[in-house]
Structure 1
Amino acid sequence: MSSYVEHANISVVDAQKMIQFLTAAIPEWKVRGGGKIDNWFGRPIEWFHVGDDHSYIAISSGGKGDATHWTSHFTGFKHIGIVVPDVEALIERLSKAGYELDHRGDEHPFRKNVYYLEDHGMLFEFIEYSRRKAANEMTIINKRDISMFFV
């Protein structure tokens, strides 16, 4: 089994706003669970797990203020990257839901990527990998395997 990221845990002011953003971006993601904690280090919070059977984002309410802007030199995460099957469809869904594209990533032969700042100032990257990438990787693997027979 390969290692992978199971979840990220983020604190926000308004958990419902984050849930709306994530489920607009990724319609197959659902609220997997949630609850309330009356005293989380002196504050009541609500928590939610939004994702699928393989990974999710844990969202806790009770945050204060906005996230530090991703262009600053702070300690912490700059963005969360999520692979999606179709970046253009994601852009259309988020536009219809009222979210504005922050910026596109640099052109690359095997991927498209876009960035969105959600209402708390957290940056999310959405990445679509092309099928050519997988085919190219198989070609490289096959050439390496073949070369082993002729060494």
Structure 2
Amino acid sequence: MTDGPEQSRGDLGADSAPIRRVIVAHPRTLAALGGRQLPAGGREPVTDDLGRQTPLGDIYLRSLMRAQLRLGLAVVGVLVAVLGGLPFLFLAAPALRNAIVAGVPAPWLIIGVAVHPVILTLAFVCLRHAGRNEHDFTDLVERS
């Protein structure tokens, strides 16, 4: 037995040379790669596209930003609907508008106390979905 690359080649024999891979690419492509070798798949990972701000990396980032924007707009929309609906609730229910609970007017209790759990719930949902969006983005980048 011999030491070295001949052991790992199996049945090729001791007299055959190791196989060398050669990149066939345009010189500008090689210059953009900075002389680096491509991975075994023949394509660079998406993380390089993100880091070098290539058009493909921009597409991936735009998809993440669109997902986060949709989430933010949905949360703000729900918050506006809840807070904007309170005046209509008070107009529709005059008994609620004039009610007093423990010496405090009911509208004050609703606006000052009942709205805060809604806001905290929306913040929790937003945070959870934003983390899920980022996790999905990371999975997408790592799979590519």
TM-score, reference length from structure 1: 0.26
Name which one, 1 or 2, has greater alpha-carbon Rg. 2
Larger helix proportion, structure 1 or 2? 2
Larger strand proportion, structure 1 or 2? 1
Higher relative CO (CA 8 A, sep ≥ 6), structure 1 or 2? 2
